Structure 1
Amino acid sequence: MLQDTPQEWQVTATSTPFTGKKTGVRTDQVVMPDGSTVSRDYQVHPGSVAVLALDDADRVLVLKQYRHPVRRKLWEIPAGLLDIPGENPLHAAQRELYEEAHVKADDWRVLADIYTSPGGSDEAVRVFLARGVSEAEGERFEVSEEEADLEYARVPLAELVQGVLAGELHNSCLVVGVLALNAALAADGLDALRPAESPWPARPFTA
């Protein structure tokens, strides 16, 4: 079985030319295998979680949100940052599902762990599958900025797969989640997916 492996090349110097509210940019001087040293710039990111919520009618909960860097409104699945260092990603995913969609779920599994753009960012994302979906109790979480303009839909999985393959849906977490779910259904089934508390070496967490 193919498997990614940890490796760390020597860094002779590092600097942080920019630090933002949640992310920053780091510049490392990295020693190459031939002995030369090169400069590598990349985004430093706390990590994220995303949730593919599947209802009893086998529809996926999606939302449409404006994304300024690409100047588009994208159909996505609920997602958010790991705001607290060492935060349990399952707890973060449950929080995001509640805050963005006012939904809770009874059954949680890991669909996929990804690096969104490893050539230019250290962002790691855990994509969860949530089943047994129902409305959350209490008042809806108060949203602002881009999230105040969200659109919501519940869409059959086959329709989303078709949209991905047709080049009509582009959000990375949605694409990975939809195709991973489709693959799991065609293989050993959803109960064979990893438990929600499975280790995540890219973003170690406490229980």
Structure 2
Amino acid sequence: MKRYKYRERKSPMMRMATRFVFAFALLGLVALPASADTLTFYLDNEFSGATPPAGTAPWVTLTFLDIVGGVRLTIENVGLVGTEFNTGVYWNFDPSKNAAVFSPTAIGTGLGTQTAWNSMSSGNDQWKPDGDGFFDFRLNLPPPGDTFTAGETFVLEWIGLGLTTADFDFTSVNGPVGKTGFNAAAHIQGIGTSGNDSG
């Protein structure tokens, strides 16, 4: 599987504040549907050329599953270790539909280990992490104190809205050359021996 790395000039403050890992939109290589009703994105590329998480990639996975009446998204910090934690996740939606009217519900006990979240934002081509192309959904997760940490899962569902996994098999758009066409992204912090790096 090919790996791509991109670099751009940033101030030290920007390098600390905005470092993200991304899943590439190479269907059959990175976006691997396990069946007709499951779609999984593997976030295994540190985007900004900064410090990657210390664990084995993929560090985060997003799995969309068709369920009765809708779609379930399971976000898993499968490769994070130690003090690393996930503060934000981004993904895409069918551009022929209005993402703003399709808000999910967080599911806790029995499915996800993490139930706290700061906010969920949705809107076509609205969210642009680290200078990449625009995404349609942004999940903001809690800062230290109730963080989404190594090995934890977070589950969202869209019920009664007529959606399927196919509605989420799209890529970011309108980014500069080499920084667009991603299925999903996550912001990882707490990297390194001091826990002060992010990726």
TM-score by length of 1: 0.23
Which has the larger share of helix? Answer: 1
TM-score by length of 2: 0.23
| Higher relative contact order, chain-length normalized (CA < 8 Å, sep 6+) | 2
* Rg larger for: 1
